[in-house]
Amino acid sequence: MAKSDLMDRVTTDLSRGHTYPAIQRMHSLVAAHPTDLDLRRRLAVIYRATGNAVEAGRWSYLDEAAEPDELAAFETSFPPHRRLEALRWPVGVPAPTDASRERLAPLLALATAAQAPASQAARRSRRLQTAAAVAVLGVLAALAVIGVRTVAEWIF
C-alpha cells in the first residue's frame, strides 16, 4: 500500500479515536521508510496524545523539537547500548539534520566500539567449535578403527 494511502488511513483512524490501528500503521510506515523524520515525528505525536512519553521520546529522538521530558523518559527506559536498536535507524545511513546527526553520533560510536569485542568473541567461539569438532572426529576415527579390528577378529 502506498505511503499516502496509509497516511490517509492513519488520519481516518485518529479522527475516529482509534489510536492503536493508527500506531500500527505508522510503525509499518517507519519500518518501510526508516530515515523519514517526518513519519517519526508523526508517530511521536500519536504517542504523545496517548500519554506514552517513552515512545514519544523514542520516535522524536532525532527531531530538534523533541520534548526534553520525553527524551529523558526514552533515555531512562533504554540504556545507551540499546538506544540505536530501539530507534531502528539503519546503520551506515547518514542522518539528514544537524540535530539528528548530533544525537546519533554517540550511539553509532558506542555500537562500533561494541562490535569489535563481539567479533573477537565470535572468532574465539569459531576456533573453539573447530577444535571441538576435530576432537570429536578423532574419537570417532579411533572408535571406527577399534570397531573394524574387532569385526575382523570375529570373522577371521
pLDDT tens digits, one per residue of 59-68: 999 999 999 9
- The predicted model scores a pTM of 0.70
In tens, the pLDDT along 67-126 reads 999 999 999 999 988 999 999 999 888 999 999 999 999 988 887 776 655 566 667 778
For 40-44, 54-58, 76-80, 134-138, which range has the lowest pLDDT when averaged over its residues? 134-138
The domain in which residue 93 lies consists of 34-118
Assess if residue 91 is contained within a domain: yes
Q: Looking up cell 570417532, which residue turns up?
A: 140
Least confident of 29-38, 40-49, 131-140: 131-140
Is 2 domain-assigned? no
What is the per-residue pLDDT for 115?
61
Per-residue confidence (pLDDT) for residue 18, from 0 to 100: 96
Contact between residue 50 and residue 19 where contact means Cβ atoms under 8 Å apart:
yes
Give me the pLDDT at residue 118, please.
Answer: 53
Residue 133: inside a domain: no
Q: Is residue 151 part of a domain?
A: no
Mean pLDDT rounded to a whole number for the chain: 89
Q: What is the pLDDT of residue 99?
A: 92
CB 96 within 8 A of CB 104: no
Q: With contact defined as beta carbons under 8 Å apart, do 40 and 57 qualify?
A: no
The percent of residues above 70 in pLDDT, for the chain, comes to: 94
Please provide the DSSP assignment of the chain as one string.
--HHHHHHHHHHHHHTT-HHHHHHHHHHHHHHSTT-HHHHHHHHHHHHHHT-HHHHHHHHTTSTT--HHHHHHHHHHS-HHHHHHHHTPPTTPPPSSHHHHHHHHHHHHHHHHHHHHHHHHHHHHHHHHHHHHHHHHHHHHHHHHHHHHHHHHHH-
| 99 within domain boundaries | yes
- Report if residue 110 sits inside a domain: yes
Domains held by the chain: number: 1
What is the predicted pLDDT for the residue at 117?
57
